[in-house]
């Protein structure tokens, strides 16, 4: 990271120093939005994609039965005209009439039934099982009604149906299969595919037969071009010379310099992702088995100072293991303000007066925040060994109980419900539950299988209070994302870390 | 000559197999391939499912042999990440990389050989000193830095060359310069030292005594002898360019084989990594072999070795 950071600084310095000519922004003139991503777009079969970038493009090619309005938190009909819960495990959807696929075929109830049964089948292997493994079956009741049956009551059904369960064309899928959908997809979405080269880029064009109704009904910009530019500096160069109109995930340190360029503006938007440090108290002979040690770690870390220095003030400090905008995120929990004296006192009480050794695994570079945490802990007598590893090696070490702490972040798939956040994932006796607290497990498990939202809220509240009280993790902050774009572009990142290019506009 | 070639080819095949098995095992040593493939938003359950689906839980040797039997039947498999046939993917990426590598090498040779000849003919002259300076800078300057400098000058400031991509021939100008400049110093210095030692030998004195022109002495007599190590080095450089131009490819967003290899390793796309490693080692072995053959043609003494 140091290496990259140095490169970034050098490059930006030079860019500012030398690039004096006024950039010519061409996107608006040709009604083409040129955007760049660092990650490769692996497949356009959204059920097989794992990168956020591919999933974002998927939401332009396909529609789901419903969608979520992030301003009101409501679910809005999309391919379904309306829906009704007939029981805790059944939803009936009235399918919208007059919807066309990009190849001109009309959408029917058969397409919906086919897609839902296909992707939830045992042989399909959807990349994220959580999106589909709750579906028992879908049946056609009449020409435009589909009944969806769940295996058991699943409170996140609508969240999943909104964006995570795109509807495919039965006839087309049967012809081309998943491999065909990966490179030449047909959907009902507001944009259709013009061209895709795996790993290189995607070109989409507005679908003029797109139906009215739903949130994407009014796509403005005619052509969307996504390119894969792995180097951040190349993205900056292309943005400054006008070949790009939009880039995202701009690090804090680069913002002032980009902002100072004519024709470029930087926007900041809060997103669902949170950062935290997990603790593994069950590793044999771990000092973390002692609650006082876990609390001492919480007291010893100066979150505000570290945040200001490394990620910026736009990130919001959190005290609970969730993002406060999510349903069920209890914020009235035990908090641990920075207090190194208290930390030392607790360590002394726990018998670690002379200090102790701990390890922390980081799925990525250790420079920055992890180093600062190490320094904080050193000042109270905890010697932290940082193990910076590639993601796959890091999770392997963590899940097999070889590390005391883990520095990580989680985006909840952009879903505004704590059921998919760390609390729902890592305290429910699953493969990533390193705590396995018998008091917490039943609470989370119950909240995951009932529909009664008030009851769920109460259960999560109790669980989150317990997690904070027992100091099982160090909640750090909720993220915020910087995007840099041409001044004449109007485009905002949604809180779910998805980008609605169908809402983009030229000013 | 024939038995020499057969011996070389047999050795090359064994070497390739060995490299590919090591590469296969290394992916497993580097972490959980199922987790890498599932991505960083996956749960332990997602990784478990993929582990079973793709058989990552079987012994490595069994998986390797399974893969190898596919390769022997001409099937490189399907990329676990792109869900596309590996062969198609590789063909696309290698075309780009080979083009870039070829341009880079030609540029390096066109500059390095004449400079090296001149520097070797007049050691410690002004030209030699300048060439040395050029070589030291080329060797010492990190390629990403040089690439960014070019990008700032030609695409941001002057707006005459595209900063990234492979859309037109202009896109290849800057990457070729960076790649060529990087491999130029070694070739030049080798030419220079080869020329110096060749020019000191008896046959050159004889050639001069026979009254041959300086150009014939330099290029027909001295360079032909100095060329042997240059050919070996250039072919190794070309092999390196096919596999190792990751930095240049990444800065200029040229999606070639180098960057595909780098990305595929981090996401444990085993069939793609394996096919790439196989191709890289085959190329490397092939070019080294071609160099050996060329050398054997130029120098009859080598054939009997």
A254, part of any domain: no
SS3 A319: coil
Q: Which residue is listed with tokens 């069939």?
A: B271
Q: Does B89 touch chain A (CB under 8 A)?
A: yes
Q: What phi and psi, each to the nearest 5 degrees, are found at residue B160? A: -110, -15
And the tokens for A499? 């980008």
Q: What phi and psi, each to the nearest 5 degrees, are found at residue A363? A: -80, 70
A501, part of any domain: no
CB A268 within 8 A of CB A480: yes
User: Quick check: A237 and B31 CB within 8 A?
Assistant: no
Q: What is the CATH number of the domain that holds A420?
A: 3.10.105.10
> Which of A338-347, B2-11, B70-79, B152-161 has maximum average pLDDT?
A338-347
CA angle B266, A433, A340 (to 5 degrees): 90
CA angle A236, A241, A247 (to 5 degrees): 35
Q: Count of CB atoms within 10 A of residue B52's CB?
A: 12
Rounded to whole angstroms, how far apart are CA atoms A365 and A350?
A: 32
User: Quick check: B47 and A395 CB within 8 A?
Assistant: yes
User: What residues of A are in contact with residue B253 (Cβ under 8 Å)?
Assistant: 227-231, 234
Secondary element (H or E) of residue A342? helix A340-349
In a shared domain, residues A405 and A470: yes
Find residue A486's DSSP bridge partners.
Answer: A264
Q: Count of CB atoms within 10 A of residue B142's CB?
A: 12
A158, part of any domain: yes
Interface test with B, best of A6, A261, A273, A395 (most B CBs within 10 A): A395
Phi-psi region of A436 (alpha: psi -120 to 50; beta: other; left: phi over 0): left
Closest residue in B to A229 (Cα) is: B253
User: Quick check: A390 and B31 CB within 8 A?
Assistant: yes
A492, part of any domain: no
Q: Does B45 touch chain A (CB under 8 A)?
A: yes
User: Quick check: B45 and A129 CB within 8 A?
Assistant: yes
Rounded to whole angstroms, how far apart are CA atoms B256 and B242?
A: 9
ipTM: 0.77
Into how many domains does chain A fold?
2
Q: Does A50 touch chain B (CB under 8 A)?
A: yes
Find residue A195's DSSP bridge partners.
Answer: A203
User: Quick check: A21 and B255 CB within 8 A?
Assistant: no
Q: Does A309 touch chain B (CB under 8 A)?
A: no
And the tokens for A50? 């794992």
User: Quick check: B250 and A45 CB within 8 A?
Assistant: no
In a shared domain, residues A178 and A282: no
Burial class (CB in 10 A: 0-12, 13-18, 19+), A451: middle
User: Quick check: B152 and A18 CB within 8 A?
Assistant: yes
A505, part of any domain: no
Give the B window 275-304 contacts with A, CB below 8 Å. none
Dihedral of CA A375/A380/A383/A389: which sign?
A: negative
**Beta-sheet pairing, A382-389 with A356-363:** parallel
In a shared domain, residues A83 and A212: yes
Q: What phi and psi, each to the nearest 5 degrees, are found at residue A432? A: -100, 5
Rounded to whole angstroms, how far apart are CA atoms A48 and B50?
A: 12
Find residue A409's DSSP bridge partners.
Answer: A275
Q: What is the CATH number of the domain that holds A193?
A: 3.40.190.10
When CB atoms are compared, the residue of A20, A231, A390 closest to B250 is: A231
When CB atoms are compared, the residue of B35, B45, B163 closest to A392 is: B35
Q: Does B26 touch chain A (CB under 8 A)?
A: no
Rounded to whole angstroms, how far apart are CA atoms A56 and A53?
A: 5
Q: Does B77 touch chain A (CB under 8 A)?
A: no
**Beta-sheet pairing, A405-410 with A356-363:** parallel
Q: Does B168 touch chain A (CB under 8 A)?
A: no
pLDDT of residue B232: 82
Q: Count of CB atoms within 10 A of residue A97's CB?
A: 12
When CB atoms are compared, the residue of A200, A243, A411 closest to B41 is: A411
Rounded to whole angstroms, how far apart are CA atoms B287 and B231?
A: 10
A365, part of any domain: yes
pTM: 0.84
Confidence label for B303 from pLDDT (cuts 50, 70 and 90)? low
User: Quick check: B156 and A229 CB within 8 A?
Assistant: no
When CB atoms are compared, the residue of A11, A18, A198 closest to B157 is: A18
User: Quick check: B157 and A19 CB within 8 A?
Assistant: yes
User: Quick check: B35 and A391 CB within 8 A?
Assistant: yes
What residue spans define the domains of chain B?
2-72, 86-304
Rounded to whole angstroms, how far apart are CA atoms A453 and A417?
A: 11
pLDDT (tens, 9 = 90+) of chain A, 507 residues, equals: 344 444 555 555 544 444 434 444 568 889 999 999 998 888 999 999 888 999 999 999 999 999 998 888 889 999 999 999 999 999 999 999 999 999 999 999 999 999 999 999 988 888 888 899 999 999 999 999 999 999 999 999 999 999 899 999 999 999 999 989 999 999 999 999 999 877 778 999 999 999 998 899 999 999 999 999 988 999 999 998 888 999 999 999 999 989 998 899 999 999 999 999 999 998 888 999 999 999 999 999 999 999 999 999 999 999 998 999 899 999 999 999 999 999 999 999 999 999 999 999 998 888 899 999 999 999 999 999 999 988 888 888 898 889 999 999 998 888 889 988 888 888 988 888 889 999 999 999 999 889 899 999 999 999 999 999 999 999 999 999 999 999 999 999 998 889 999 999 998
Q: What phi and psi, each to the nearest 5 degrees, are found at residue A67? A: -140, 165
Per-residue HEC secondary structure of A227-259 comes to EECCCHHHHHHHHHCCCCCEEECCCHHHHHHHH
Q: Could you name the CATH architecture of B86-304?
A: Orthogonal Bundle (1.10)
Q: Does A431 touch chain B (CB under 8 A)?
A: yes
Residue B64, min C-alpha distance to chain A (Å): 20
When CB atoms are compared, the residue of B49, B89, B92 closest to A125 is: B49
Q: Does A399 touch chain B (CB under 8 A)?
A: yes
In a shared domain, residues A420 and A329: yes
Q: How many CB pairs under 8 A join A and B?
A: 156
In a shared domain, residues A192 and A279: no
User: What residues of B are in contact with residue A40 (Cβ under 8 Å)?
Assistant: 263
Alpha helices in chain B (DSSP H): 2-29, 33-38, 44-53, 60-72, 86-121, 126-140, 143-150, 173-199, 202-209, 214-216, 223-244, 246-251, 257-266, 270-298, 300-303
Among candidate residues B165, B172, B164, the one with its CA nearest the CA of residue B106: B172
User: Quick check: A179 and B83 CB within 8 A?
Assistant: yes
In a shared domain, residues A60 and A158: yes
Secondary element (H or E) of residue A33? strand A32-37
Q: Does A15 touch chain B (CB under 8 A)?
A: yes
User: What residues of B are in contact with residue A272 (Cβ under 8 Å)?
Assistant: none
The length of chain B, given as a count of residues? 305
Q: Does B1 touch chain A (CB under 8 A)?
A: no
Domain range spanning residue A394?
A: 271-480
| Tens-place pLDDT, residues B28-64 | 877 788 888 887 778 888 888 888 888 888 888 888 8
User: DSSP of A434-490, one letter per residue?
Assistant: SS--TTTHHHHHHHTS---HHHHHHHHHHHHHHHHHTT-EEEEEEEEEEEEEETTEE
Q: Does A259 touch chain B (CB under 8 A)?
A: no
pLDDT of residue A18: 43
Residue B131, min C-alpha distance to chain A (Å): 28
When CB atoms are compared, the residue of B42, B157, B163 closest to A234 is: B163
CA angle A122, A127, A129 (to 5 degrees): 55
Among candidate residues B253, B249, B257, the one with its CA nearest the CA of residue B90: B257
Q: Count of CB atoms within 10 A of residue A256's CB?
A: 11
């Amino acid at each position: 990271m140091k290496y990259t950071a140095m490169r970034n600084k050098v490059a930006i310095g030079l860019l500012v120093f030398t690039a004096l000519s006024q950039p010519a922004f061409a996107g608006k003139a040709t009604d083409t939005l040129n955007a760049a991503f660092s990650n490769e777009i692996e497949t356009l079969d959204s059920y097989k994609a794992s990168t956020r970038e591919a999933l974002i493009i998927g939401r332009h090619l396909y529609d789901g039965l419903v969608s979520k309005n992030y301003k009101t938190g409501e679910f809005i009909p999309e391919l379904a005209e309306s829906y009704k819960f007939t029981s805790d495990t059944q939803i009936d959807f009235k399918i919208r009439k007059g919807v066309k696929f990009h190849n001109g075929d009309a959408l029917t109830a058969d397409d919906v039934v086919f897609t839902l049964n296909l992707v939830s089948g045992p042989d399909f292997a959807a990349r994220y099982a959580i999106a589909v493994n709750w579906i028992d079956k879908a049946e056609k009741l009449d020409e435009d009604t589909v009944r969806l049956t769940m295996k058991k009551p699943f409170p996140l059904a609508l969240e999943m149906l909104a964006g995570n369960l795109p509807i495919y064309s039965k006839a087309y899928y049967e012809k081309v299969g998943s491999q065909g959908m990966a490179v030449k997809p047909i959907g009902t979405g507001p944009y259709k595919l013009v061209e895709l080269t795996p790993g290189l880029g995607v070109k989409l064009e507005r679908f003029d037969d797109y139906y009215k109704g739903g949130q994407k009904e009014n796509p403005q910009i005619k052509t969307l071009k996504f390119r894969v530019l792995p180097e951040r500096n190349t993205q900056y160069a292309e943005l400054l010379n006008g070949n790009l109109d939009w880039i995202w995930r701009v690090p804090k340190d680069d913002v002032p310099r980009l902002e100072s360029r004519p024709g470029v503006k930087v926007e900041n938007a809060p997103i669902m992702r949170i950062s935290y440090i997990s603790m593994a108290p069950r590793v044999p002979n771990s000092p973390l088995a002692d609650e006082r040690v876990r609390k001492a770690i919480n007291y010893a870390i100066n979150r505000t100072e570290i945040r200001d220095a490394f990620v910026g003030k736009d990130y919001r400090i959190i005290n609970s293991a969730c993002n406060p905008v999510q349903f069920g995120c209890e914020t009235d929990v035990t908090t641990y303000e920075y207090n190194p004296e208290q930390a030392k006192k607790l360590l002394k009480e726990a018998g670690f007066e002379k200090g102790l050794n701990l390890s922390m695994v980081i799925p990525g570079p250790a420079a920055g925040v992890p180093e600062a945490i190490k320094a904080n802990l050193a000042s109270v007598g905890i010697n932290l060994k940082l193990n910076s590893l590639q993601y796959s090696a890091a999770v392997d070490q963590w899940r097999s109980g070889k590390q005391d702490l883990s520095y990580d972040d989680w985006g909840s798939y952009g879903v505004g419900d704590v059921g998919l956040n760390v609390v729902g994932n890592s305290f429910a006796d699953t493969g990533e539950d390193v705590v396995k607290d018998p008091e917490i497990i039943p609470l989370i498990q119950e909240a995951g299988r009932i529909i009664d939202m008030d009851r769920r809220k109460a259960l999560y509240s109790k669980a989150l209070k317990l997690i904070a009280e027992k100091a099982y993790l160090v909640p750090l902050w909720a993220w915020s994302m910087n995007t840099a774009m041409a001044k004449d572009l109007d485009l905002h990142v949604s809180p779910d870390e998805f980008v609605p290019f169908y809402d983009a506009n030229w000013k | 000559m024939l038995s020499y070639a057969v011996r070389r080819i047999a050795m090359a095949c064994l070497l390739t197999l060995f490299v590919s098995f090591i590469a296969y095992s290394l992916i497993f040593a580097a972490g959980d391939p199922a987790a890498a493939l599932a991505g960083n938003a996956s749960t332990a359950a997602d990784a478990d499912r993929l582990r079973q689906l793709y058989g990552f839980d079987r012994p490595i040797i069994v998986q390797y042999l399974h893969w190898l039997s596919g390769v022997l039947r001409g099937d490189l498999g399907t990329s676990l990440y792109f869900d596309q046939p590996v062969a198609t993917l590789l063909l696309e990426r290698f075309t780009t990389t080979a083009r870039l590598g070829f341009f880079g090498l030609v540029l390096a040779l066109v500059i390095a050989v004449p400079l090296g000849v001149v520097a070797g003919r007049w050691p410690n002259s002004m030209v030699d000193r300048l060439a040395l300076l050029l070589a030291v800078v080329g060797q010492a300057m990190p390629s990403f830095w040089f690439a960014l400098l070019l990008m700032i000058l030609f695409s941001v400031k002057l707006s005459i060359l595209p900063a990234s991509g492979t859309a037109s021939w202009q896109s290849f100008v800057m990457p070729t310069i960076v790649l060529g400049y990087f491999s130029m110093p070694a070739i030049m210095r080798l030419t220079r030292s080869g020329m110096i030692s060749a020019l000191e030998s008896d046959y050159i004195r004889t050639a001069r005594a026979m009254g041959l022109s300086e150009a014939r002495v330099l290029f027909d007599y001295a360079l032909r002898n100095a060329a042997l190590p240059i050919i070996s080095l250039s072919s190794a450089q070309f092999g390196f360019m096919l596999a190792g131009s990751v930095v240049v490819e990444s800065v200029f967003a040229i999606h070639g084989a180098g960057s595909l290899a780098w990305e595929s390793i981090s996401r444990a796309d085993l069939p793609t990594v394996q096919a790439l490693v196989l191709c890289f080692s085959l190329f490397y072995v092939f070019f080294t072999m071609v160099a050996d053959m060329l050398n054997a043609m130029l120098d009859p003494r080598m054939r009997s070795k």
